[in-house]
Amino acid sequence: MDKETVAAARALALPGNVEIVVVPELAPRTKPKALNYALPLARGDYLVIYDAEDRPERDQLRRAFHAFHIGPPHLATVQARLNIYNPGDSWLTRQFTLEYSALFDGLLPVLDRLELPIPLGGTSNHFRVSALKWLMAWDPFNVTEDADLGTRLARGGYRCRVVASTTYEEAPRSFGNWIRQRTRWLKGFVQTWLVHMRKPGALWRELGPRGFLAFQVMVGGTVLSALVHPWFYALVGYELFGGGGFLARPASLFGLPFWTIAWFDLVTGYLAAMALGFLAVRRRGLATLSWQILLMPAYWLLISVAAYRAVWQFATAPFKWEKTEHGDARHAVRPHQP
């Protein structure tokens, strides 16, 4: 039990419709364990998860309810778009804003339109309570419970939609705070991939070929690409200074198509990721961050550091929950809604 948090909550002048629920101090000490403890107390048909530092747009609950009202009966979750209210605090917060803009304004709406599984964000998820209870709620041992729940919802035949409403969050501005948060996220992705791939045949049948592929790319691919990424730089450095043959054009005609495809995939992959970030922040009205696109590869290397830390922690402390410190934002702004 976090005594400081409980004391701070009880010191607030809360309205009568707010109830403080203290979770017993039992393992695992995770957010999904606390959510599972509170779920039986939910008395309505819908519930929403917000983090303490969140700043949702004023009409978000109305938009989410409207999405449920006009949506199909198997619509179980409405995910709001997440963005950052302190992008000017540090280089990390600027890169975090690029990342969130590309993910929640660009990639997730595409997954929604294609009716593919969506790895949910950790906040601003609006749920149909009956669907949550049917799925037996969250996995209390998964430290990225949102990604796991999004997959389980899809496996159960439920839909997730992305609503055009934004919740602004505080991004970690220090490296220590950022690395702990990103380690936890990636460790949870490892957990999620391993749990759902215990029976790949069942996963294939329940998600279908398209959903199965999307799961591999969004969950497994996120971790794998982060682990492999620094080795690519090491290989390029070796080729440049050691005189290998990876960068050189192949001498045989047989090897030319493979060399061409490899370079095409490399260049288009980098350019596509950077272009998505560029378009997303400009649409957000954050054109001043556009030049930060050039520094995205350096940020990806830091994600690789977090990925290796996540794999090590998964092997040594799989259920450890490293909290993210909040409340130290220096330059809070509220960008406009796209």
Averages of pLDDT over runs of 10 residues in the chain (338 residues) are 80 86 86 91 92 92 96 95 93 95 94 94 93 91 93 95 95 94 96 96 97 95 90 74 58 54 62 86 89 92 96 94 79 57
Evaluate whether residue 89 is within a structural domain: yes
- Residue 86: partners with Cβ closer than 8 Å, 6 or more residues away: 93, 170, 171, 173, 329, 330, 331, 332, 333
2 falls within a domain: no
Q: Decide if 134 is inside a domain.
A: yes
pLDDT of residue 260: 57
Domain extent, residue 284, equals: 41-316
This prediction's pTM: 0.88
Query: Is residue 234 situated within a structural domain?
Result: yes
The Cα angle at residue 79 between residues 62 and 273, in degrees rounded to 5: 135
Do the domain assignments include residue 338? no
When divided into structural domains, the chain yields a total of 1
Residue 13 domain-assigned?
no
Q: Which residues contact 151 (CB under 8 A, 6 or more apart)?
A: 117, 119, 192, 196, 215, 219
Is 255 part of any domain? yes
In a domain? residue 18: no
Q: How many residues does the chain have?
A: 338
Instruction: Report the CATH number that the domain containing residue 117 is assigned in CATH.
Output: 3.90.550
3-state secondary structure of 323: coil
Looking at residue 248, its pLDDT comes to: 56
